[in-house]
C-alpha cells in the first residue's frame, strides 16, 4: 500500500511536470515573461517560485526543515529570469531535486515526521502538501498559456467537443488497473 502511494505520487508529479513543459513549448520566448497585470505573475515568475519551493522543500528532505534559511521566497516573485534557457534550467533543477528526494524514500520513511516552518508533517502529508501546491501553480501556467495562445492552443487533455469520442474509446477497452497518467505520459513521449 505504501509503495503504491509513492509510485502514484511520482507519477502525479511527472504528469504535472509534463503539463508545464507542454505549455512552455506552445509559448514564444516573449510570452513566457508577460505579466498580465501588476498583481499577476508571468509564467517565468511562477517557474521561479516553484524552483525556490522545490529546492527548499526537497533538499535534505528527511533531515532539515522544509523552509530553508537560505531561501528568499519574496525574491522568487521578481520577474527577472533572463531567457527561456534560464527558465528551463530552474524548472529542471527544481524537479530534479524533487525526484531525487522522492526516489530515495522507502515504505519505512512514510511514518517519519518532518517539519515545514516548524510544523510537523508525516512524509505522506508533506508529499500531499506539494501535490496540491505544484498543480495549483502548473494550472496557472496552463491557464496563462491558453490565454496567450487563444485559438492556437493545443489541448493538453480531452479537446472540447471530443468527450463522447474519448469515452467511447475508453469504454471499448477491457477493465484494467494502471495509473491514469501512464498512457498520457507514454503517449506524449512517443
Please say if the pLDDT value at position 32 is more than 60.
Answer: yes
pLDDT of residue 188: 54
2-157 has CATH 3.40.50.620 classification:
no
Q: Are 14 and 55 in contact (CB under 8 A)?
A: no
Instruction: List, as one string, the DSSP characters of 46-74.
Output: HHHHHHHHHHHHHTTTTTS-SS-TT--GG
- Residue tagged 515568475 (cell numbers): 45
Q: Are 87 and 28 in contact (CB under 8 A)?
A: no
CA angle at 99 for the pair 129 and 32, rounded to the nearest 5°: 80
Digit-coded pLDDT (tens) for 50-76:
999 999 999 999 999 999 999 999 999
Largest CA distance in the chain: 54
Per-domain residue ranges for the chain?
2-157
High-pLDDT (> 70) share of the chain, %? 95
pTM: 0.91
Amino acid at each position: 500500500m505504501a509503495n503504491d502511494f509513492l509510485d502514484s505520487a511520482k507519477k502525479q508529479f511527472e504528469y504535472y511536470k509534463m503539463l508545464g513543459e507542454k505549455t512552455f513549448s506552445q509559448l514564444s520566448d516573449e510570452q513566457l515573461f508577460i505579466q498580465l497585470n501588476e498583481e499577476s505573475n508571468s509564467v517565468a515568475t511562477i517557474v521561479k517560485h516553484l524552483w525556490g519551493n522545490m529546492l527548499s522543500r526537497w533538499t535534505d528532505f528527511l533531515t532539515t526543515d522544509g523552509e530553508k534559511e537560505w531561501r528568499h521566497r519574496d525574491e522568487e516573485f521578481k520577474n527577472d529570469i533572463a531567457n527561456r534557457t534560464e527558465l528551463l534550467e530552474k524548472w529542471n533543477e527544481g524537479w530534479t531535486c524533487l525526484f531525487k528526494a522522492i526516489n530515495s524514500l522507502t515504505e519505512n520513511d512514510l511514518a517519519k515526521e518532518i517539519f515545514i516552518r516548524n510544523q510537523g508533517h508525516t512524509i505522506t502529508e508533506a508529499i500531499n502538501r506539494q501535490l496540491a501546491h505544484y498543480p495549483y501553480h502548473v494550472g496557472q501556467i496552463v491557464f496563462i498559456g491558453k490565454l496567450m495562445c487563444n485559438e492556437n492552443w493545443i489541448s493538453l487533455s480531452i479537446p472540447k467537443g471530443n468527450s463522447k469520442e474519448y469515452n467511447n474509446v475508453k469504454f471499448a477497452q477491457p477493465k484494467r488497473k494502471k495509473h491514469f497518467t501512464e498512457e498520457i505520459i507514454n503517449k506524449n513521449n512517443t
